[in-house]
Amino acid sequence: MADRTPLIVGNWKMNSNHLEAIQMVQKLSYRLEKEDYERVEVVVAPPFTSLRSVQLVLEQDHIPIGLGAQNVYWAESGAYTGEVSPSMLSKLAVKHVIVGHSERRQLFRETDEMVAKKTAAVVGAGMAAIVCVGETLDQREAEQAEQVVTTQLAGALRGLSVGGPSALAIAYEPVWAIGTGRNAFPDDAGVIAGIIREQLRSILGSEIGDGVRVLYGGSVNAANIKDFMAKKDIDGALVGGASLDPDQFAAIVRYRL
């Protein structure tokens, strides 16, 4: 079995101006130690308007937190008012880009096809795509969770070629668990993560499929992270609300202690 370094990503969503973002990342860095970064890959994804400020803090203070973005457009440049290209992000030392978050799928009508284009563009620009998949409550109650997740994943990876497992992470985020304080049962999340793992192996080959990290997201906090991380195919977390509080996020990163 592949040895996968846990990946814990803070998705700040549309929170924090650039001054607040600077404070948040500084506070987080005061709470983490060298050993924490050796055990876990830590990433924060602030809004676009804060990326440059956070990048400078991370660089100047030599803080080994990775910089992530929450979205991207697939074209390289051109008449796409309001959009941001992969190379604009990679120039800012962004290493991870969240793609297909359920809020983007639901509120901004992103389809599997768009998610696939974004994923390919992110990987093509040398960054890692964090592809989000997950079922709604209605779909779970209709016992369609597995089918929804595998369809979204197949759609996102259609035609994708990756050089290695670090180009990709998959976040399983049941929509009903996001921002609700109602996390999935770790056992259920573990089952879906196992299904995702099998699908990754079949689409990308067993070696890469074994190495890609599968994250859980949806009301993760310092109290429940350990139960998710105990599952064999869950390799990290995509954390929303709790990532806005540096104490809480640091405690999540230090889940082993």
What residues numbered 197-256 form the site for ligand PGA, per CB under 6 A? 217-220, 238-242
* x/- map, 131-170, ligand PGA, by CB under 6 A: ----------------------------------------
- Catalytic one among 41, 96, 101, 135? 101
Q: Give the CA angle between residues 178, 244, 101 to the nearest 5°.
A: 35
d(CA 217, CA 215): 7
CA proximity to 96, closest of 69, 118, 76 = 69
Q: Is 175 a binder of ligand PGA (CB under 6 A)?
A: no
Taking the complex as a whole, the smallest distance from the CB of residue 148 to ligand PGA amounts, in Å, to 17
For residue 209, give the 3-state DSSP assignment.
Answer: helix
Q: What is the 3-state secondary structure (H, E, C) of 54-74?
A: HHHHHHHCCCCCEEEECCCCC
Taking the complex as a whole, the smallest distance from the CB of residue 72 to ligand PGA amounts, in Å, to 16
Taking the complex as a whole, the smallest distance from the CB of residue 241 to ligand PGA amounts, in Å, to 3
Q: According to CB under 6 A, which one of 4, 10, 11, 197 is a site residue for ligand PGA?
A: 11
Q: Decide: 220 and 228 in contact? Cβ < 8 Å.
A: yes
- In Å, how far from its chain's centre is CA 215? 7
Residue 173 among the catalytic residues: yes
With the CA atoms of 61, 66, 70 and 72 taken in that order, what torsion angle do they form, in degrees rounded to the nearest 10? 100
Would strands 94-99 and 236-239 be described as parallel, antiparallel, or unpaired?
A: unpaired
Nearer to ligand PGA by Cβ, of 167 and 171: the residue is 171
Nearer to ligand PGA by Cβ, of 85 and 102: the residue is 102
Q: Is 16 a binder of ligand PGA (CB under 6 A)?
A: no
Residue 146 among the catalytic residues: no
What residues numbered 29-58 form the site for ligand PGA, per CB under 6 A? none
The binding site for ligand PGA (CB under 6 A) comprises: 11, 173, 178-179, 217-220, 238-242
- Residues carrying an active site annotation: 101, 173
